[in-house]
Structure 1
Amino acid sequence: MNFSVLELYDFLAKGGPVMVPLIGISLWMWVLIFERSIVFWMLKRPVDNKAASNLPMLKNIAASRKIEERLINAIAQNGCKDGIPDPSLADAYIKKEKNMLRRNLSTINILAAIAPLLGLLGTVVGMVATFDVISAFGTGNANAMAGGISTALITTQSGLLVAVPGLFMGAFLSRTAQGIAAGLDDFAGLIRRTG
């Protein structure tokens, strides 16, 4: 099933004015989803052994994530007393990293939750248009009523098409962030034991 650009434009135009913010919300949400996906992918890449060699005491516990590499570098540069890592610096760094991990996740979930509400608003707009046609022409003119009903259905469908994958991706990214944060907590425990 091929859609041309004109057919897509016609579909969006039939959805009425509510389609504009719905498209905007969808684009904004997917930009944030891709941004978080790239950030999380980068954090899961293997640690550079050079970073672990900055602090010999942590060389053996440098796990397999870039986020730990940054923590090792931060401790090596600022947080050692006589070659022993300072646990308070690790705790402050981990708190900062956890905030970075959660960035934009609530926005993604909010945008996904707003989409079906905008679809519902479009449904109301379409039904109001249908009732306006009924009041002007009666129920005998089915073609005139079809435009309002079409608007109602298109916006409802579009709102759900934006919301369902957005909610799924928001939940997936939240679980990923929690997993990375748990790994950071484990890593901090190793640092505390070496300190």
Structure 2
Amino acid sequence: MWELVKSGGLLMIPLLLASVLALAICLERAWALRMSRVAPANLLAEVWSWIRNKELNADKLRQLKANSPLGEILAAGLLNSRHGREIMKEAIEEKANVVIHHLERYLTLLGTLAMISPLLGLLGTVVGIIEAFMAINSSGMGDPALLASGISKALITTAGGLFVAIPAMIMHRYYLRHIATMAVEMEQQAIKLVDIVHGDREVDFQP
């Protein structure tokens, strides 16, 4: 495999770096975007228990904010709950925008890697073809090894670019969809909290 990479020429170096970086981003996001970390299942029930038992205080709010991204959103709403329903909802929406932005961290870079990797491969293809034609011009068709080397470099860099781009693009799309799904879940939990705090909804879970 290493011999195959070396035969692709210098442009295989940025492709290797891109593949390592894309893999690192995918692994980091897989860990950071776990549903149990972003939106714990029983968090809203726990918050309601605090409210019902009059245990909600500054320490609980700090704990809630540090607990998870959903906790940050709920804490922002609770901090502004005394100002009325609309202000509470606005605070939740503002915090949700910030939280979702943080959840999308590194995904722009992952998408960029998915886009530029085929271009790097194409550049390697062009360089390989140029070298092949230069070999023909300098030695004619009498040295097929030089011609084969240029064509081989062209094919290897193209394959390398696609090898990096395809999984990077798949994971980029997957994480964007995953974040959108979690955003809907967090929105539902936050709206339920607003309704409960302001008496517009009966509690439909067991704390």
Distance in 2 of aligned mates of 1:14 and 1:52:
63
Q: 1:155 to 1:192 in 2, by over 3 A?
A: same
Cα root mean square deviation, aligned = 2.6
1:190 maps to: 192
1:44 CA drift (Å)? 5.0
Task: Give the conservation status (yes or no) of the 8 Å contact 2:7–2:153.
Answer: yes
Q: 1:162 to 1:52 in 2, by over 3 A?
A: farther
Correspondence list, 1:17-166, <5 A? 17-41=10-34, 42-47=37-42, 50-56=46-52, 66-76=68-78, 78-81=79-82, 86-166=88-168
1:149 CA drift (Å)? 0.8
1:176 CA drift (Å)? 0.1
The alignment of Structure 1 onto Structure 2 pairs a total of residues equal to 180
Residue identity in the other structure for 2:22: M
Task: Kindly provide the CA deviation profile for residues 89-136 of structure 1, in whole angstroms up to 9, marking residues without a partner as x.
Answer: 222221111111222222211111111110000001111111111001
Q: 1:159 to 1:69 in 2, by over 3 A?
A: same
Percent sequence identity over matched residues?
Answer: 27
Distance in 1 of aligned mates of 2:162 and 2:8:
13
Residue identity in the other structure for 1:23: L
SS of corresponding position for 1:186: helix
Task: Kindly provide the CA deviation profile for residues 25-56 of structure 1, in whole angstroms up to 9, marking residues without a partner as x.
Answer: 11112211212111111325544565553333
TM-score w.r.t. length of structure 2: 0.76
Distance in 1 of aligned mates of 2:146 and 2:176:
46
| Partner residue of 2:2 out of 5, 9, 15 | 9
Residue identity in the other structure for 1:24: L
Task: Kindly provide the CA deviation profile for residues 153-184 of structure 1, in whole angstroms up to 9, marking residues without a partner as x.
Answer: 11011111111111111111111011011112
Task: Give the conservation status (yes or no) of the 8 Å contact 1:108–1:166.
Answer: yes
SS of corresponding position for 1:54: helix
Distance in 1 of aligned mates of 2:188 and 2:40:
18
Distance in 1 of aligned mates of 2:115 and 2:49:
46
Q: Which runs of 5+ in 1 are unaligned?
A: 1-7, 58-64
Distance in 1 of aligned mates of 2:119 and 2:49:
53
Q: 1:36 to 1:107 in 2, by over 3 A?
A: same
Distance in 1 of aligned mates of 2:72 and 2:51:
12
Distance in 2 of aligned mates of 1:39 and 1:122:
35
Q: Which runs of 5+ in 2 are unaligned?
A: 54-66, 199-207
Residue identity in the other structure for 2:141: T
